[in-house]
Every structure is written in C-alpha cells, then in structure tokens.
Amino acid sequence: MSTATVNPVPPAGRVPPRVVDPAAAVARTRPRPSAAEAVSQTLSMAWRALKKMRRNPEQFFDVTLQPLLFTAMFAYVFGGAISGNVRGYLPLMIPGIVAQTVLTTCMSSGVQLREDMDKGVFDRFKALPIARIAPLAGPMIADLVRYLIAAGLTFVMGLIIGYRPGGGVPGVLGAIALAIFTGWSIAWVFTWVGTIARNARSVQGFSMLILFPLTFLSNAFVPVRTLPSGLAAFVKINPVSHLVSATRDLANHAAISGEVGWTLLAGLVVIAVFAPLSVRSYRRHL
Amino acid sequence: MTATAAIDAAGLVKTFGGLRAVDGIDLDVRQGEIFGVLGPNGAGKTTTLKMLATLLPIDAGQARVFGVDVAREPHRVRQLLGVTGQYASVDEDLTATENLWLFGRLQGLRSADARAAARRLLGQFGLEDAADKPIAQFSGGMRRRLDLAASLITRPPLIFLDEPTTGLDPRTRGQMWDTIRGLVADGCTVLLTTQYLDEADQLADRIAVIDHGRKVAEGTPEELKTSVGDSALQLRLAPDADTGLARQVVRRVTGAEPVLTPESGRMNVPLDTPDQAADVLIGFRQAGVTVISVSVAKPTLDEVFLAITGHGTGQAGDPDAAGPAAAERPPLEVK
C-alpha cells in the first residue's frame, strides 16, 4: 500500500496553485436544487439501489418465491373448493395474487429505506446539497424492477399451471403495468411509515398490520357474493378490491374498465398525499 | 483586506430533552486556518459540528458559513461544506470508485468528470490498489481516507472533520495529519474536533476548548499550553506532608500555581521546562516536604481541563461526565 501523499512538492520557483477559492464557491451556490437536478440525483440514487440489489440477490427472494409458491399453493388448495376445479379458479385468483405480491413487495421498500437511513452513508446524503426527495425516490425507482418481477412471475406461474388469460398479451401487459404503477404509488405509504418508525423491525410489524387485512378482506381470492353482508360492504370499498378487479378486467378481457380508472386515480391520490408527507418527515430526521 | 469569516457562529444552543448539549457557543473561524475544537466525549463537539453542517436544527443563536446563514439557506451552505464524520459514512455495498462516482454525480458532476475525480482522489489518498474492492475489505485507516476523499470531490472551501484520527494507528494518524495540512495549502479552511491535545497542537492554528456545551477557553496551541506549562510534574506527597507548605515552595520555585487533583496528596505542577522538576524537588527537600512518587509528563488534555475548568475530563470516572456523555448519541435516538 502506498502512502498518502496529498501535497506533491511543486516544481521549484512555482507557488502551489490555490485550487480552492471560497469567494467563487459562494458565488456559485444556488438557493435550491432545480427540478432537473432533482431528477438526475434521483436517478443516481436509483443506480445505487440497483447496484445494491445486484450485490444482495437475497433481496429478490420475496419477489421470486412468493409468486411461485403462493400461486401454486392457492390454486391447488382453494381451486376445487371455490371454483370447482383449479383451471376455473385461475382467472379469479391470478389477478388476486398479483395484487397481493405487489403489495407485499412495496412493504419491503419501507423496511429497506429504514435500514438504509440507519447507516452512516445516509448522514452523508443529508449533508450533501441534493434534493431531499432523491434518497427516497431513488430506491423506489429501482424497486420498479421488483414489481415487474413479482407481477410477471405470477403470470408465468399461472400460465404453467394452466391459466389462459382471455385478454391476451396486451391485456396481461396492461395488467402488469397497472400492478407496477399501483405498487409504486402505495410504496409511498410504506416509505412514509419507514421515515416515522423507530427502526426497521417496527416498520415491518406496522406494515403487516396494514397489509394483511387489506389483502385478505378483499375479493382477491374469493367472489364477493360468498361473503356476509357487513364484510362484503368493506370488501367493496377496499382499494385492493379495485386493483384486483381492474387487473382481472385487463388480464381476462383486455377491458379498460371503470375499475382501472378508479385504481389509477387512487394511486395518484396516494402519491399526492404520501410523497410530500415522506419528504417532510425525512427532513425532520435531519 | 478582511475576508468573510469561514464560520461566524454566535450563541449556538442545542437541547436534547432537558439537556443543553450545546449551551451558547460562539465560534469565529478565519479563512484558511485549521481551527480545532477540543474537548472530552460528550462535551458537545459533534453536536456543534452537526448544527453547522445543517445536520441538526439550531435551537438558538445563529451561524454563518462564508456569510451564508446556516438556518435560512441550508442548501447553499451544503454546497460549501465537506463533512467527514466520526464513523466512515460511505456505502458498504459499493466499491471505493463507485462511492466517489456516486457522490460526484449527486453533486452535479458529469459521469466522465465524476470518474476522473474519483480516480484523482483515490490516487491522492493512496487507495488506487483498492479502487474496485468492496468497502467491507477496507482497514479502518483506508475507510477514513476514503471518507475524507468523498468530502473533497467538489473541492468545498470548508471541511469539517469530526475526530479524524480517533482509533487510527500512529502511522496512519501521521498520514491523516499530512493530508489535512495539504487541504489548507490548497486554500481550504478546516474545522476539526479532537480529544487529543497533541493533535490540536500539531494541526490547529487556533483551538477552542469545549466543556459541558460551553466554550471554556480559546487561543493558539501555545497560549493554551502556557496556561498549563510545557510539561507537568506529577507528585504524590506523603500523608503527613504539609500541603500548604508544598504549595508555597512550588509558587516560589516555578512562579505557577500547583493543581491539586481530587485524590488526596496528589499535586500537578506545571513546568515551563522539564528541567524545573529538579528545582521543585530540591525546594521540597530543603523545606522538609516528603514525596512518595514523582513523574514528569507532557500535559495531557486532562491537565489542560483541570487547569481551565477545575475538573477532569471524566475519562477516569469523573461523575460530571455521566450526564453530557448522553448528548452525543446520534440524534435519531434522542427523539
């Protein structure tokens, strides 16, 4: 290992150049990051998150194993009971699993953000002149890959066990795109939870508490008409039900229904509320 | 010509719960100097630094960095600062090159420029062999250097170094000192915190001594040292020795006031030269004061503290230190 020679001796007769000029540096400063800078910084943070994913492949366990296992398990366990046979259950169930896996995936964005925030490098991010949203939004952009894997694999697994989506390729692609968008927008809720919770473990616990009832008290796995009336009322207003219905409309009928519209709108509302909340609470951690 | 002060802070206060971790600190750091903030653990050094670096809100008082208000224009202040903390704040999952490239990109360098800056800094800090190794394989000294390199990518005019050599071996420590001097030669201003008097002595043009969130002394290393003497004679008097008489002897021989340490019978005598020790001992012998043990040592931070504040730094179980030590925990935990 060589020694650190920071200041090489300048050639004789020359004054070492002063590379740092405070007055010029002050003149160069800008009061806030521009939108273009914020985008570029977010992309840099996304690059970092993708690198980390590639180096820690175990992060992909949930988005690969869950779609494969849950699809097979639910199909063979409930298929006969609910729809008479496995094949008949698949058009009902596959969109439900898509919604469920995508939601579980966005829960882990909150957990991972929290773990990241507790690391030393986040102190440096805070001290850098960067848009405050970049360290939050960057990893979420990278997470799009995870939603794509989760939604895509569920469909692939469905195809293997006999699912033949009536919407054809465009319908399925539309369903995947919708699932990714919804997952990304709902991830802002968990990002916010990540910024307010004390540690990663409590993010996990709190998120499970939200997610579990939302996914199971929906039409993801059973037809609503089989439910008692009180529960059915909740299931109908549950946003997850809208996502599931919209995914079904797209995948099974290639239909851009009102459910699709509602789901998109709900996603936008969630972003509009929770993105600013997250940035605000993240700032307060400074 | 009077240049704008690099740091101009007045009455800084930070309260965690009921504890005033920083209790009205003024700092005036001139451009191009190395300013040392010296104090024991929990004195409020890191908290002060974090407020100036926009990492913690300032509860009261105000601070300006090159004339830019820290509380009102944090984004501008961040563009003028490089911050290197006590614990290396680089990304463990990325390589050294990737870390520097990322920090360069985040600060607006183009990809090629960021790569060039990364290569330049890795060369400058003797890390080129480790450029593509994961940080997990780095030694403590290498991490520190990488951390400092990461603070220098955009050549900020003011560098904060929070205990830059704590935990480093002597050789790496010397390298770090050279590096810090090099920064100033380049035109940077450096604010560093340290627990070591000799580090402040080696590096700093001026030093502020911080204790319990307050500034208790300020001056050049020379000024500080003369207040405690160039070295100190540490004595233990016999149980039946006359402490008052011993005091008189010391005053007569050295012209300085001895410091009685909390343990009974122990006495520290500041000396201008180690040679004076003999004069003091001869004086004791002539006056009939019996001494049990004698040693001559360079003044330690503890003695500077003892001399300035009248109490120790707490490293040896001083009850005073128990409270403020809590103040320098990371702010996330002190909600």
| Residues forming beta bridges with residue B33, ordered by sequence position | none
Cα separation, A246 vs A257, in Å, equals 7
Burial of A174 (0-12, 13-18, 19+ CB in 10 A): buried
Checking if the pLDDT of B332 tops 50, the result is no
Please say whether the beta carbons of A63 and A220 come within 8 A. Answer: no
Checking if the pLDDT of B63 tops 90, the result is yes
| Domain B229-310 classification at class level | alpha beta
pLDDT per residue of chain A (286 residues) written in tens, 0 to 9: 444 444 444 444 444 556 778 888 888 888 889 999 999 999 999 999 999 989 888 888 888 888 899 899 999 998 888 888 888 999 999 999 999 999 888 888 888 888 888 888 888 898 899 998 899 999 999 999 999 999 999 999 999 999 999 999 999 999 999 999 999 999 999 999 988 888 888 888 888 888 888 888 999 888 888 899 999 999 988 889 999 999 999 999 999 999 999 999 999 999 999 999 999 988 876 5
Q: What is the pLDDT of residue A1?
A: 45
Which carries the bigger pLDDT value, residue B224 or residue B122? B122
Q: Does A55 touch chain B (CB under 8 A)?
A: yes
The conformational region for residue A100 under phi > 0 = left, psi -120 to 50 = alpha, else beta, is alpha
Query: How confident is the model over A107-149, as pLDDT tens digits?
Result: 888 888 888 888 888 888 988 999 988 999 999 999 999 999 9
Name the residue of chain A whose CA is nearest to B7's CA: A22
Going by C-alpha positions, the residue among A191, A98, A176, A99 that lies closest to residue A141 is A191
B188 interaction partners in chain A (CB closer than 8 Å): 20
A48 interaction partners in chain B (CB closer than 8 Å): 91, 94, 102
Q: Between B73, B126, B187, which is nearest A3 by CB? A: B126
Q: What is the pLDDT of residue A286?
A: 53
A128 interaction partners in chain B (CB closer than 8 Å): 78, 103, 106-107
Reported as a pLDDT band with limits 50, 70 and 90, residue B259 is: confident
Checking if the pLDDT of B33 tops 90, the result is yes
Extended beta strands in chain B, E state: 7-16, 19-29, 34-38, 60-65, 68-69, 81-84, 158-162, 189-194, 206-211, 214-219, 231-237, 259-260, 266-271, 291-297
Strand order in the sheet with B266-271: B259-260, B266-271, B231-237, B291-297
Beta-strand relationship, B189-194 and B34-38 = parallel
Q: What is the largest CA-CA distance in chain A?
A: 93
The CATH 3.30.70.980 portion of chain B extends over: 229-310
Burial of B255 (0-12, 13-18, 19+ CB in 10 A): exposed
Q: Between A4, A23, A40, which is nearest B175 by CB? A: A4
Q: Does A199 touch chain B (CB under 8 A)?
A: no
Reported as a pLDDT band with limits 50, 70 and 90, residue B335 is: very low
Query: How confident is the model over B72-96, as pLDDT tens digits?
Result: 999 999 999 999 877 668 888 899 9
Burial of A205 (0-12, 13-18, 19+ CB in 10 A): exposed
Q: What is the pLDDT of residue B324?
A: 36
Stated as kind and residue range, the H or E segment containing A37 is helix A35-55
The CATH 3.40.50.300 portion of chain B extends over: 7-224
Q: Look-up: residue for tokens 């009685």? A: B260
Beta-strand relationship, B291-297 and B231-237 = antiparallel
Q: What is the pLDDT of residue B257?
A: 82
Average pLDDT, chain B: 84
Q: What is the pLDDT of residue B223?
A: 81
Q: Does A237 touch chain B (CB under 8 A)?
A: no
Q: What is the DSSP string of B173-226?
A: HHHHHHHHHHHHHTT-EEEEEES-HHHHHHH-SEEEEEETTEEEEEE-HHHHHH
| Domain B7-224 classification at class level | alpha beta
Interface test with A, best of B91, B99, B115, B159 (most A CBs within 10 A): B91
Q: What is the pLDDT of residue A8?
A: 47
Cβ-defined contact of B106 to A29 (cutoff 8 Å): no
Share of chain B above pLDDT 90, in %: 43
Checking if the pLDDT of B229 tops 80, the result is no
**Span B308-324, mean pLDDT?**
48
